[in-house]
Structure 1
């Protein structure tokens, strides 16, 4: 049995967005999946972070929260699996919609490929700003808001979007489409990084070996 004095405890910073299930501890210092810590910041903590140089990005789209007097037309709404993260889109159609077969998408989504739609940052509005969001930089392998980065729910860990320096790539699967016609506007028009595919897809759509219009096209397999 491990005594309390024999275990050196470490305070987990909220910025690290640790997996709550694996980092929850009891008095004996051991992990207990059913006793998770709440790592989500309070509203007061979020507001304080906005005033710091490190947290100034929270005042910019898509994380900037809107005043009551501001009007923003909601074309589409979306939410994560647990419902804690919600956002809406003020643009009806994406700038582009693609299937991505890169290795990052395969490993981070646990799927053979990812469906992503491109929007400007001003098109997306989180209901509670950056509260409850987790960030991961696959380039630098750390969990801070460092562009480009992956954004997910810090509670259920559902992927929300990829944030680039100028655009965001959202995942339409979490959008609550009001009609088949609304969903059709998000239909992917191409495949990218198809040279890294793990499954062949014969759908007649252009298949770029790497980035679209910057690599070779791959023919459908008969």
Structure 2
């Protein structure tokens, strides 16, 4: 099992199975939501995500089509996204929200076409 939480600790959860399909998503929505060049997510079956506290504090936002992103209404931490037409019974969790150490075996990069291209400071 893997435990995780938001920045303020009000929302906490447990993954009942080993995370799968670790992905660095470079799409504009993930960039904007995380304020970073990409977001790293891992996925588990929806039934394997158990909220331990603060589930009532989650705010949902429909970012596109059927995709719903949930975040802590106190600190704004991204907690999950789901609603993929291809993986209807799965939920994705930001890898950095895990409090239990997890080292993925493989990380896939997706949506590189919208990836940020920042110059290095010494260029």
1:124 matched residue in structure 2: 49
CA-atom RMSD, angstroms? 1.8
Contact 1:136–1:151 (CA<8 Å) still a contact in 2?
A: yes
Post-superposition Cα deviations, 1:96-137, rounded to whole Å, max 9, x if no partner, equal: 111000010011111100001011101110014731101000
1:215 matched residue in structure 2: none
Post-superposition Cα deviations, 1:67-103, rounded to whole Å, max 9, x if no partner, equal: xxxxxxxx11111000000000111x22211100001
Alpha-carbon spacing, 1:188–1:109, altered in 2? closer, same or farther (3 Å): farther
Give 3-state SS (helix, strand or coil) of 1:138's partner.
strand
Higher relative contact order (CA 8 A, sep 6+): 2
2:91 matched residue in structure 1: 168
Q: Equivalences for 1:67-78 in 2 at 5 Å? A: 75-78=1-4
Alpha-carbon spacing, 1:157–1:188, altered in 2? closer, same or farther (3 Å): farther
1:97 corresponds to 2:22: yes
**Where does structure 1 differ by over 3 angstroms across 4 or more consecutive aligned residues?**
none
**How many aligned positions are there?**
114
- Which is further off, 128-137 or 77-86? 128-137
Q: Distance in 1 between matches of 2:7 and 2:22?
A: 22
Higher-strand-fraction structure: 2
Alpha-carbon spacing, 1:84–1:129, altered in 2? closer, same or farther (3 Å): closer
Match of 1:139 among 64, 80, 96: 64
Decide which structure has the larger Cα Rg and report it: 1
Q: Distance in 2 between matches of 1:90 and 1:121?
A: 10
Structure 2 unaligned regions, length at least 5: 119-123
TM normalised by structure 2 equals: 0.84
1:109 matched residue in structure 2: 34
TM normalised by structure 1 equals: 0.48
Q: Distance in 1 between matches of 2:25 and 2:105?
A: 13
2:10 matched residue in structure 1: 84
